[in-house]
Chain A
């Protein structure tokens, strides 16, 4: 369910710890539609017997990552510790903070750093501008790559065949009534982003919002993620937004190349 990477041949199947693999499936079985689940419901979603599912759930309760009233189970904030261990230990999400701060100061808009994990875009750093409602994405937010500007820009860094294969397997959900749902049109848009060196989208995930994003490479030319700025469409014209945003994003990406 989580895994999309090919099986590493160096790992013998007997070396894999089954309990751990199923455990992650049990955790991610909870979502906004079912914040509370019984052991039978988890069993059904994950493909375990009821008693096995119950054992996984009780282990999670024991570690403080879930709680239960005896019948239903739900996840606890302790689980957030795992995400924190990534944000604390990974270098890049912290290294980009001062650069995002400068970018936010320059543009007076919220800025993000994100990267692709399989077919999903994950936002790992955000600096917000002083606004009543924060634009952009909280660190940890995970969305289908096709729906956000940064996601499309990063897809564009892949080989054509890979992008096609991605579009083939993904189901394009229109998050707004203006979202691109035609796969060929999206493919062309992604290629255009690659060619012009930045991406801009409007009204694709949230109405009234505009995103501009640019890929960041390290000094070996490897793509390490994307910088993006989220702003209100009503604030200025698309041309103005490009004229102001793109050079600032490019300068930051160039500096990051030397630092990260």
Chain B
């Protein structure tokens, strides 16, 4: 959670700022809510259980303030404690799931994803951009190798997957170039592109073609194909994508087999989203 490292929050007591971060008027800011959400996000694979001191260190809160937040979250059932450490409970999923409970887009997409699986026999995903991450918001079908795939809500750095590349290709060039110049590009495979110019070429190519093919950027031996999902105002609001093992098929063959199904669904969705 690199965002926490950057955002050191003011402490509850010493909180005399006129505005919150990002220009939200101070009087409009519910500090308790923002900090509480940050604490929940601070738990991850590397920090599965934390003491109030560890939470304080990760969020920039004082130890006393952190403890109050942790006790409140425990009281609400979002955390459970064992001795001095706290861990998340499955109730946290409920807050996250409110997005799926309310947002119409995942529900609208589902029958189209089922249709694509029917036509191609492959697992298909829909995703949106959140900042510079892509987030999977709908999926259907099973992969041949029977992995769990990406669960809904999973996020991946946008530049590493085909849906991310098509969505980046719809953003203003300078904005993307500026970001590429500053972002840390971790090589996930020996083939991961870490050169900003080379990466921008891939994005520009996707813009020209209207689809993206991305190979072995995140996982070795995996090829992704994605098309943008546009609304009737031609605004790109998401992407439809498939991941396939490269060994099974040549690139051209995959494109001929897969692309029409993806494009057909994206076209049909234009008037619905």
Contact = CB atoms under 8 A, between A and B. Distances in A.
**Chains A and B are bound partners:** yes
A77 interface: yes
A134 B141 contact: yes
Interface residues of B, number: 73
Interface string A32-69: 10110000000000000000001110111011110000
A75 B102 contact: yes
Interface stretch (B29-37, B159-167, B179-187, B212-220): B29-37
Interface stretch (B143-151, B200-208, B226-234, B256-264): B143-151
A131 interface: yes
B32 A20 contact: yes
A34 B104 CA distance: 10
Interface string A133-168: 110001111100000000000000000000000000
B233 to A, nearest CB: 14
Contact of B102 (A3, A31, A124, A132): A31
Interface string B34-52: 1111001111110110000
Given A32-B101, A63-B37, A89-B44, A80 B75 contact: no
B32 A18 contact: yes
A111 to B, nearest CB: 11
Contacts of A17: 32, 36, 68-69, 72
B98 interface: yes
A130 interface: yes
B63 interface: no
A79 B24 CA distance: 19
Q: Name the residue in A4, A15, A20, A56 with the highest tally of chain B Cβ atoms < 10 Å from its Cβ.
A: A20
Contacts of A86: 43, 88-90, 92-93, 96
B73 A20 contact: yes
B116 to A, nearest CB: 10
A76 B29 CA distance: 18
B118 to A, nearest CB: 5
B91 interface: yes
A19 B12 CA distance: 12
Interface string B66-108: 0011011111111000000001111111111111111110010
Contacts of A78: 130-131, 135
- Interface size class on chain A is 35 or more
Contacts of B27: 55
A62 B77 contact: no
A126 interface: yes
Contacts of B32: 17-20, 23
B153 A23 contact: no
A85 B88 contact: yes
B24 A58 contact: yes
A43 B94 CA distance: 21
23 contacts: A3-B76, A8-B71, A15-B72, A20-B36, A31-B98, A31-B101, A32-B107, A64-B130, A74-B103, A76-B99, A80-B137, A83-B96, A84-B153, A85-B43, A86-B88, A86-B89, A89-B43, A117-B90, A118-B77, A124-B93, A127-B148, A130-B141, A134-B142
Across chains A and B, which 8 residue pairs bring their CB atoms closest together, nearest first?
A83-B96, A19-B32, A80-B153, A23-B33, A20-B36, A30-B102, A86-B92, A128-B142
Given A59-B33, A85-B42, A87-B153, 12 more contacts: A2-B91, A17-B36, A20-B73, A34-B102, A35-B104, A77-B135, A82-B37, A88-B43, A89-B48, A122-B93, A140-B152, A142-B97
